[in-house]
Amino acid sequence: METERLACPLCGWWRTAKWGTDQRTGKPREVRFDKVDVESAPMWRLERLSGAGRGSREAKVELLDSKKLGELPAEIKAQIREQCGKILEILEEETS
């Protein structure tokens, strides 16, 4: 059996390209890199975990704080900026 996987060019997290069907829509699920609203979506979260173990219905996740992209520490923003620059450079070479 072969499985096609894609890595996020920012974080390196591997995702399976085709992984089942969305139960709500019945459509095949797909990996996309353009879903997140980068202007308003939280990019950092501080959570408190309590209750029973992971995956348990008794486990509780409480959001304590979150930050948008523009609110991240300068060091993190610099890393993102640098990596995005590398990605754009490669993609622009392909169109030349």
Q: What percent of the chain has pLDDT over 90?
A: 48
Task: Let me know if residue 16 belongs to a domain.
Answer: yes
Measure the CA–CA gap between 23 and 96, rounded to whole angstroms: 41
Mean pLDDT within 40-54: 86
| Average pLDDT of the residues of the chain | 88
Task: Let me know if residue 28 belongs to a domain.
Answer: yes
Q: In which region does residue 7 sit, left (phi positive, over 0), alpha (psi from -120 to 50) or beta (all else)?
A: beta
The count of domains in the chain is 1
Structure confidence by residue, pLDDT tens digits, 6-42 = 999 988 989 888 778 888 888 888 888 898 999 999 9
Q: Which residues of 50-71 are buried (b: 16+ CB within 10 A; e: fewer)?
A: eeeeeeeeeeeeeeeeeeebee
Task: Let me know if residue 66 belongs to a domain.
Answer: no
Instruction: State the residue range of the domain holding 13.
Output: 1-35
Residue 86: CB atoms within 10 Å: 10
Residue 96 has pLDDT above 80, yes or no: no
Task: Let me know if residue 12 belongs to a domain.
Answer: yes
Closest by CA position to 6, among listed 38, 32, 42, 28: 32
Task: Let me know if residue 20 belongs to a domain.
Answer: yes
Task: Let me know if residue 93 belongs to a domain.
Answer: no
